[in-house]
Amino acid sequence: MKVWPGRPYPLGATWDGEGVNFSLFSENATSVELCLFDGPDASKESHRIRVEERTNQTWHVYLPEGRPGLHYGFRVDGPYDPQAGHRFNPAKLLIDPYAKSIADTIRLSDRMFGYRLGEADGDLVRDDRDNAEEMPKCVVVDQAFSWGGDHLLRTPWSKTIIYEVHVKGFTARHPQVPEHLRGTYAGLSTPAVIEYLQELGVTAVELLPVHHAVQDKHLTDQGLTNYWGYNTIGFFAPDMRYAASPVRGRHVREFKTMVKTLHSAGIEVILDVVYNHTAEGNHLGPTLSFRGIDNAAYYRLMADDPRYYMDYTGCGNSLNVRHPRTLQLIMDSLRYWVLDMHVDGFRFDLASTLARELHEVDRLSAFFDIIHQDPILSQVKLIAEPWDLGAGGYQVGNFPVGWAEWNGKYRDAIRRYWKGDGGQVAELAYRLSGSSDLYETSGRRPFASINFITAHDGFSLQDLVSYNEKHNEANGEGNQDGHNDNLSWNCGTEGQTDDPAILDLRLRQKRNMLTTLLLSQGVPMLCGGDEIGRTQQGNNNAYCQDNELSWHDWDLTAEDRVLLGFVRQLIALRQQHPVFRRRRFFQGRQIHGSEIKDIVWLRPDGQEMDEADWSQGYLRALGIVLAGDAIEETDARGNRIVDDTFLLLLNAHHEAIPFLLPSPDGNASWSVVLNTHVGGIAHPASTVTSGEPFTIEPRSMALLCRPFTISS
């Protein structure tokens, strides 16, 4: 086979229309071999090519006879000296960190480890058994694709509604998705799914990890699987598990087709990405890629004993974002998914880990600096999960300008309030109004707050109101995993029940939280399936349940269909009224000559709350006036934005509370748009008189409206 020197960049395997260039970074290696295979199941190489060229610590070679579909891997030699941080082992075939396609799922066996399992010296003795027969091969792909006029949608944050969903779980049981497409990228772009998302009204899907991931041995030994996929090994490769086509490498095109189809429907694609650690685990983990290519460069090692890893993630290791080549890997991966795969943004798992320059979380770290100045990445949606498991890792509110954050304080405040905990009103007010206490001083806007009540990690909404204890027995960890974050919801008997009173209370609590979520300032994120009562039978850590426990159940009950209709109406209401999705924080003062402030907080007697009211632990009910004619914003053409004025009434108490309706502008009546005690959005709305008491039923909320009128 002909071999040319090739080029050091781009890294990975690149088909240029004539041949394939291979490039691999390793700072400490002494030699590199490119291994070619006749197919995905080949146990031995058809060719081993010694890579002779090395430029700036990058090993490169060009195969003029190479073509898309070629299967390959690398073998990298160097010192095997774990105590010095080096774990090279040429007996192990390694995955290219820049591989655009990986031919199969990785299942761990003893030969996938670089050391001798079971030896007294642990990982200090190298294992020389060849693993090529078991290691999935990388695949050269042709990146050509007919995108047509497709482009990033750039939906404004103020109009964004995120739907968090698992690629497989959403369609695995969908009766209108052809059976051979269920659970795949292709299934997510079928007409039935597109129509559902459009009718629901969401503007973006946030996909749980789709980067190629590893199946944990301790799970597969129990007949379980890493369903969520937070165990990445390939930062450029879509996971084969979600491919409809059996042809290796074709799932890249399938993923692009999914993105293009969703874009055509006006729906953005946001990826949940895991750059904080890899699937190689701690010092006793397998050697699959980074560890064998250059362990000391890619991972954060203990300074006083580099045999061991710094672990801010709870997963055994942390990527070394202080090293320029590791940082380049992350940035190249992000740009690839934007430029080549057309995704619209990213949610960064355990993002605080990426901000650790030394040990402390640093808002001015190189990671943030590089993204902030990047002309591509600075223009897409960037969402942080603003915590990790290390000391000082909880960083809600501390990420820099340009970043949105999963607002864990919002989730906790809304749950506590509707659960009936006392002393929540002041905290609740901040969360409903966009969390100005967290984001305003740093120059960010309300849309820095990604509001959510439930997510993949925890109880579903149905289970949140149905269980007082987690039930994770199916995970094989004695129900010790997951957090018991759901005590004493007072919604009656645990789990399923036929008691009408209990069922009514649970349904009302779901309506309460969904209404709160979709009418709060900030960006709402709906956990997929909450709109149809999806249950995991009390399992709040279903990461290993790739089965009907996690998959969406599309056999909807009458109650499920009513709830779905309610959520559709709520989303439509939010999108129709800019007062619920302001681009600026409330000022709490009169604006544009309005006779009322842009926001007013009311006691049940109809009077504005004072300092003493905010500190009262027993206050369970409050009202919020959102003045639609006092929005200090303009549209794209410079026209002042005006809207109707709305009154939100919330009662988390177990008893009904009469609320005296305000009449600050002399208007004689309000229209009742929504009342969670009786069901959905009223058509037509009933009318109630200002200055009169309006009864807010136990554990419910209401939305009242006064239409905007032009003064004569």
Domain range summary for the chain, segments of one domain joined by +: 157-276+310-456+485-528+569-578, 586-706
Spatial distance between the Cα atoms of 376 and 183, rounded to a whole number of angstroms: 31
Spatial distance between the Cα atoms of 601 and 607, rounded to a whole number of angstroms: 8
Terminal CA-to-CA distance of the chain, rounded, Å?
A: 85
How distant, in Å, are the alpha carbons of 61, 367, 389 from that of 352?
37, 11, 9
Decide: 67 and 20 in contact? Cβ < 8 Å.
yes
- Nearest to 388, CA basis, from 320, 314, 321: 314
CATH class for the region spanning 586-706: mainly beta
Q: For residue 665, what pLDDT is reported?
A: 63
Sign of CA dihedral 87, 88, 94, 97: positive
Spatial distance between the Cα atoms of 201 and 680, rounded to a whole number of angstroms: 16
Decide: 237 and 185 in contact? Cβ < 8 Å.
no
How distant, in Å, are the alpha carbons of 224, 417, 548, 567, 653 from that of 620?
44, 8, 39, 25, 5
How would you classify residue 350: left for phi > 0, otherwise alpha for psi between -120 and 50, otherwise beta? left
Decide: 108 and 288 in contact? Cβ < 8 Å.
no
Omega before residue 68 within 30° of 0, cis: no
> Catalytic: 349?
yes
Strand order, beta sheet including 31-37: 47-50, 31-37, 71-77, 138-139
pLDDT tens, position by position, 295-332: 999 999 999 999 999 999 999 999 999 999 999 999 99
Decide: 490 and 420 in contact? Cβ < 8 Å.
yes
Q: Which two tokens stand for residue 101?
A: 């396609």
Return the half-sphere exposure (C-beta side, CA atoms, 13 A cut-off) of residue 257.
Answer: 16
Phi, psi (5° rounding) for residue 539? -80, 115
Exposed, middle or buried: residue 43 (CB in 10 Å: 0-12, 13-18, 19+)? Answer: exposed
Q: Which two tokens stand for residue 304?
A: 């006083």
How long a stretch of residues is the chain? 712
DSSP, res 381: E
> Catalytic: 385?
yes
Spatial distance between the Cα atoms of 697 and 467, rounded to a whole number of angstroms: 23
Spatial distance between the Cα atoms of 585 and 575, rounded to a whole number of angstroms: 18
Token pair 């943004």 in the structure block, residue: 345
* Amino acid (one-letter) located at 303: A
State whether residue 438 is helix, strand or coil.
Answer: helix
Residues of the chain with pLDDT under 70: 357-364, 485-490, 591-595, 664-667, 683, 710-712
Spatial distance between the Cα atoms of 396 and 413, rounded to a whole number of angstroms: 14
Spatial distance between the Cα atoms of 25 and 55, rounded to a whole number of angstroms: 9
* Amino acid (one-letter) located at 351: A
State whether residue 562 is helix, strand or coil.
Answer: helix
Spatial neighbors of 421 by CB under 8 A, at least 6 apart, are: none
Spatial distance between the Cα atoms of 269 and 519, rounded to a whole number of angstroms: 23
Catalytic-role residue among 127, 216, 254, 349: 349
Q: For residue 712, what pLDDT is reported?
A: 42
Facing residues of 403 across strands? none
Can you point out the beta strands (E) in 511-598?
A: 523-527
Spatial neighbors of 677 by CB under 8 A, at least 6 apart, are: 508, 696, 697, 698, 700, 702
Omega before residue 10 within 30° of 0, cis: yes
Spatial distance between the Cα atoms of 332 and 324, rounded to a whole number of angstroms: 12
Q: For residue 390, what pLDDT is reported?
A: 80
Phi, psi (5° rounding) for residue 687? -115, 135
pLDDT tens, position by position, 32-60: 999 999 999 999 999 999 999 999 999 99
* Amino acid (one-letter) located at 99: A
Q: Which two tokens stand for residue 64?
A: 């003029």
Decide: 384 and 367 in contact? Cβ < 8 Å.
no
Confidence (pTM): 0.97
Can you point out the beta strands (E) in 141-184?
A: 162-165
How distant, in Å, are the alpha carbons of 175, 254, 299, 525 from that of 327?
43, 28, 11, 29
Q: Where are the alpha helices (DSSP H) in 61-216?
A: 167-171, 185-188, 191-200
Can you point out the beta strands (E) in 321-370?
A: 345-348
Facing residues of 300 across strands? none
Spatial distance between the Cα atoms of 681 and 324, rounded to a whole number of angstroms: 54
* Amino acid (one-letter) located at 210: V
Spatial distance between the Cα atoms of 652 and 650, rounded to a whole number of angstroms: 7
Decide: 450 and 383 in contact? Cβ < 8 Å.
yes
Facing residues of 659 across strands? 694
Spatial distance between the Cα atoms of 332 and 335, rounded to a whole number of angstroms: 5
State whether residue 640 is helix, strand or coil.
Answer: strand
Compute, in degrees rounded to 10, the torsion defined by CA atoms 587, 593, 597, 598. Answer: -60
Q: For residue 360, what pLDDT is reported?
A: 67
Catalytic-role residue among 294, 385, 388, 457: 385
Kindly give the pairing relationship between strand 404-406 and strand 449-451. Answer: parallel
Spatial distance between the Cα atoms of 256 and 262, rounded to a whole number of angstroms: 10
Q: Which two tokens stand for residue 46?
A: 């058809």
Spatial neighbors of 195 by CB under 8 A, at least 6 apart, are: none
CATH class for the region spanning 157-276+310-456+485-528+569-578: alpha beta
Token pair 């260039």 in the structure block, residue: 21
